[in-house]
């Protein structure tokens, strides 16, 4: 597994096309960026040239949505080859995707669909994760997804499932604090129970994002600023896991870059309050 060199500034942003030119002209003013893998898995072209340019000055992580690690379909060998080429080119700090399935019977559904939390699912996932890690020559970082349904077949909680999976597959976790809050509200459990069960040595990264609150349920939309309840949960996460690299995702209603920088300053301040000097 490669050694991952972290920047001194552990706070970053999702890299979005709206901000390419401003970042190139004025400097990133963040410690790192998270680039969406599928946007750059091309032979050549504008997005990849921008990524080459920006990564010269700012470290990158890669974040995907299409490995479909939980599907019963075979892993997509062409996708893994394309991802491996991108990894070799970008040399990211780490590579992440989602603990879910996105395709079934060869049909890509373009959604992050949750898994049943069962022993059978664990036994299915572990060799698939190990195959990906062998192909990429690094640990895979898997993110907890927001969920709106639960399976009657589940035999354990999501947090116990994640903790067990990380140990068995020797992978790492991307703890999406917003997703924990969303799922906790939707299903009626305590988000602090989730944090307490996750092994501290497996969390590689935090996500922060906004959502849409619809009264009876919350939808993970990434089109609003981070909510107060998520900031509160983030403080608890930093208290438990320490100074984990943190970034803000914004995928719709993209604001000016300065607004995201200002929001990231809130994360820096809260983390400094919870982390001993």
- Looking at the predicted structure, is the pLDDT value of residue 271 above 50? yes
User: In terms of residues, how long is the chain?
Assistant: 277
| Exposed/middle/buried for residue 84 (C-beta within 10 Å: 0-12, 13-18, 19+) | middle
The token pair at 214 is 């619809």
Phi and psi of 212, rounded to 5°?
-115, 120
The answer on pLDDT for 57 being more than 60 is yes
Q: At what angle do helices 177-187 and 228-241 cross, to 10 degrees?
A: 120
Q: What is the DSSP string of 235-258?
A: HHHHHHH-S--EEE---SSPPPHH
Average pLDDT over residues 161-170: 98
Q: What are the boundaries of each domain within the chain? A: 11-274
- CA atoms of 234 and 177, how far apart (whole Å): 6
pLDDT in tens, 225-256: 999 999 999 999 999 999 999 999 999 999 99
CA distance 173 to 207: 11
- N-to-C CA span, the chain: 30
- Rounded average pLDDT over 34-45: 90
Predicted local distance difference test score (pLDDT) of residue 107 = 81
4 has a pLDDT exceeding 80: no
pLDDT of residue 1: 47
3 falls in which pLDDT band (50, 70, 90)?
Answer: very low
State the Cα–Cα distance between residues 153 and 49, nearest whole angstrom.
46
pLDDT tens for 168-211 read 999 999 999 999 999 999 999 999 999 999 999 999 999 999 99
In order of 63, 143, 207, the CA distances from 149 in angstroms are: 24, 17, 22
Tokens standing for residue 218: 């919350």
Residue whose pair of structure tokens reads 């896991």 in the numeric block: 241
Per residue in 17-31, pLDDT (tens digit) is: 999 999 999 889 999
Torsion angle of C-alpha atoms 16, 178, 201, 33, degrees rounded to 10:
10
CATH code of 11-274, in short, is 3.20.20.150
pLDDT band, very low/low/confident/very high, at 276 (cuts 50, 70, 90): low
Please name the residues in contact with 201: beta carbons below 8 A apart, sequence gap of 6 or more.
none
Mean pLDDT of the chain: 94
Quote the CA–CA distance of 176 and 109 in Å, as a whole number: 22
Taking residues 50-72, what's their average pLDDT? 96
pLDDT at 67 over 70: yes
Averaged pLDDT, 89-94: 96
Nearest to 250 by CA among 92, 19, 32: 19
pLDDT at 14 over 90: yes
pTM of the predicted model over 0.75 = yes
Residue range 46-50: mean pLDDT, rounded: 90
Task: Work out the average pLDDT over 78-101.
Answer: 97
| Model pLDDT, residue 2 | 46
pLDDT in tens, 103-150: 888 888 788 999 999 999 999 999 999 999 999 999 999 999 999 999
Q: Residue range 76-89: average pLDDT?
A: 96
CA 245 to CA 262: how far, in whole Å?
Answer: 17
């Amino acid at each position: 597994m490669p050694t991952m060199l972290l920047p001194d500034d552990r706070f970053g942003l999702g890299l979005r096309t709206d901000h390419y030119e401003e970042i190139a002209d004025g400097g990133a003013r963040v410690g790192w960026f998270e680039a969406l893998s599928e946007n750059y898995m091309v032979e050549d072209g504008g997005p990849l040239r921008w990524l080459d340019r920006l990564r010269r000055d700012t470290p990158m992580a890669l974040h995907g949505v299409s490995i479909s690690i939980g599907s019963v379909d075979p892993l997509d060998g062409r996708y893994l080859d394309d991802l491996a080429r991108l990894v070799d080119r970008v040399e990211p700090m780490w590579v992440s995707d989602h603990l879910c399935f996105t395709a079934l019977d060869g049909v890509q559904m373009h959604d992050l669909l949750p898994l049943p939390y069962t022993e059978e699912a664990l036994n299915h996932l572990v060799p698939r994760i190990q195959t990906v890690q062998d192909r990429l020559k690094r640990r895979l970082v898997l993110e907890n997804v927001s969920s709106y349904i639960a399976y009657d077949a589940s035999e354990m909680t999501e947090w116990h499932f994640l903790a067990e999976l990380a140990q068995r597959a020797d992978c790492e976790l991307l703890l999406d604090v917003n997703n924990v809050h969303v799922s906790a509200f939707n299903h009626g459990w305590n988000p602090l129970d989730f944090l307490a069960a996750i092994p501290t040595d497996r969390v590689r990264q935090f996500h922060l994002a906004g959502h849409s609150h619809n009264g009876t349920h919350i939808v993970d939309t990434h089109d609003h600023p981070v909510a107060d309840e998520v900031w509160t949960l983030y403080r608890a996460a930093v208290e438990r896991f320490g100074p984990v690299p943190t970034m803000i995702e914004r995928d719709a209603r993209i604001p000016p870059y300065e607004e995201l920088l200002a929001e990231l300053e809130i994360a820096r301040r809260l983390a400094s309050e919870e982390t001993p000097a």
